[in-house]
């Protein structure tokens, strides 16, 4: 007599506990920074136009800033603004001595080329790793600011005890923000990586071979249970607004009975991304504060040279240093 297979449900790889652990360290580092320099570091978040998922994400970042004592500044640029206006906004933030880090939320309006941002942003304040200098550091395996969403996908896997070395990983999506960076970070962890995209024939044939699937395609419900090998781990990086709900790129209802583990949306990669962004901000603030005197409260704004490098590693006691030294952060500068 045969016994029917008992239905299983994937383990949920929740981001909140990991983010909370990271933020404890960040909060202590921000307090120490204020004692040393007399002010809180500032993160400027730039939103061009009103994209619904982007607005949701930026509000989450600002809440995270408040929670750890960082000053968050939302800089809204009208959707009808020209490329020159966007460039001037970034230049002003580059030159603001109180702003330690800048992120410009994507996507930009179609008429504004990405190069408007990447060629203007000071790489020392580029805490989300989109400047060509930081992208080059990532490609070569050097220290630099990493794209935080890609870093968060790796961090949540490692802190959840998912082995990466020697595993076959399929990345669905080839964006400069997530797909390409996460593939490079997986290679650092000795995974065998395949990158799929909109021109990949028979996507399911690729994903069914993977021990781990990382999805960042921006298409709700793209990956279904029939496309996943039983026992695989699935990381859903997508964030899409469907009706009044936030959903990912994975159809969780059909994938959960097949996969061994799955990140939820919301509540998976997002919280870890925001927490890591705070570690990058503190690192940038420390490097800038060490490099300059007098303190921002008494000096005039100066222009930061585009092309400068973030510089030395953070102090051994910082949250960024702890992240890099931990098994979850090995080879991933915070």
Per-residue confidence in pLDDT tens, the chain, 334 aa? 444 455 579 999 999 999 999 999 999 999 999 999 999 999 999 999 876 667 777 888 999 999 999 999 999 999 899 999 999 999 999 999 999 999 998 888 889 999 999 999 999 999 999 999 999 999 999 999 999 999 999 999 999 999 999 999 999 999 999 999 999 999 999 999 999 999 999 999 999 999 999 999 999 999 999 999 999 999 999 988 899 898 999 999 999 999 999 999 999 999 999 999 999 999 999 999 999 755 444 443 333 333 333 433 344 445 655 554 333 333 333 2
Domain pair 17-130+271-295 / 148-269, same fold: yes
Q: What's the helix, strand, coil split of the chain in %, to 5?
A: 40, 15, 45
Q: In the chain, where are the structural domains located?
A: 17-130+271-295, 148-269
CATH number for the region 148-269 comes to: 3.40.50.720
In words, the CATH class of domain 17-130+271-295 is: alpha beta
Phi, psi of 322 (to 5 degrees): -65, -40
Residue 293 DSSP SS3? coil
pTM of the model: 0.84
Q: How far apart are CA 179 and CA 150, in angstroms?
A: 7
Q: How far apart are CA 241 and CA 244, in angstroms?
A: 7
Phi, psi of 214 (to 5 degrees): -110, 120
C-alpha distances in Å from residue 221, one per residue of 225, 249, 293: 10, 5, 52
The answer to whether 38 and 297 are in contact (CB under 8 A) is yes
């Amino acid at each position: 007599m045969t016994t029917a297979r008992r239905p299983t449900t994937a383990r949920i790889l929740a981001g909140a506990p990991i983010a909370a652990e990271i933020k404890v360290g960040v909060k202590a580092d921000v307090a120490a920074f204020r004692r040393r320099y007399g002010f809180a570091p500032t993160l400027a978040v730039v939103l061009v136009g009103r994209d619904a998922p982007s607005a949701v994400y930026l509000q989450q970042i600002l809440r995270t800033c408040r929670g750890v004592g960082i000053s968050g500044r939302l800089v809204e640029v009208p959707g009808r603004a020209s490329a020159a206006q966007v460039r001037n906004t970034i230049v002003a933030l580059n030159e603001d001595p109180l702003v330690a880090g800048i992120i410009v939320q994507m996507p930009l309006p179609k008429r504004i080329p990405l190069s408007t941002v990447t060629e203007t942003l000071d790489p020392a304040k580029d805490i989300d790793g989109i400047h060509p200098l930081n992208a080059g550091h990532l490609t070569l395996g050097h220290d630099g600011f990493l794209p935080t969403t890609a870093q968060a996908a790796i961090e949540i896997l490692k802190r959840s005890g998912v082995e990466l070395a020697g595993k076959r990983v399929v990345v669905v999506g080839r964006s400069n923000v997530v797909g390409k960076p996460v593939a490079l970070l997986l290679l650092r962890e000795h995974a065998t990586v395949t990158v799929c995209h909109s021109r990949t024939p028979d996507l399911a044939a690729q994903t069914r071979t993977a021990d781990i699937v990382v999805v960042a395609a921006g298409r709700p419900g793209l990956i279904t249970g029939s496309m996943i090998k039983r026992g695989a781990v699935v990381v859903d990086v997508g964030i899409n607004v469907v009706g009044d709900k936030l959903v990912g790129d994975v159809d969780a209802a059909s994938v959960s009975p097949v996969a061994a583990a799955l990140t939820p949306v919301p509540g998976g990669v997002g919280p870890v991304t925001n927490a890591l962004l705070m570690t990058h901000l503190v690192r940038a603030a420390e490097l800038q504060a060490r490099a300059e005197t007098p303190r921002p409260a008494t000096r005039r704004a100066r222009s930061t040279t585009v092309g400068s490098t973030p510089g030395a590693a953070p102090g051994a006691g910082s949250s960024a240093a702890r992240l890099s030294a931990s098994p979850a952060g090995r080879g991933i500068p915070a």
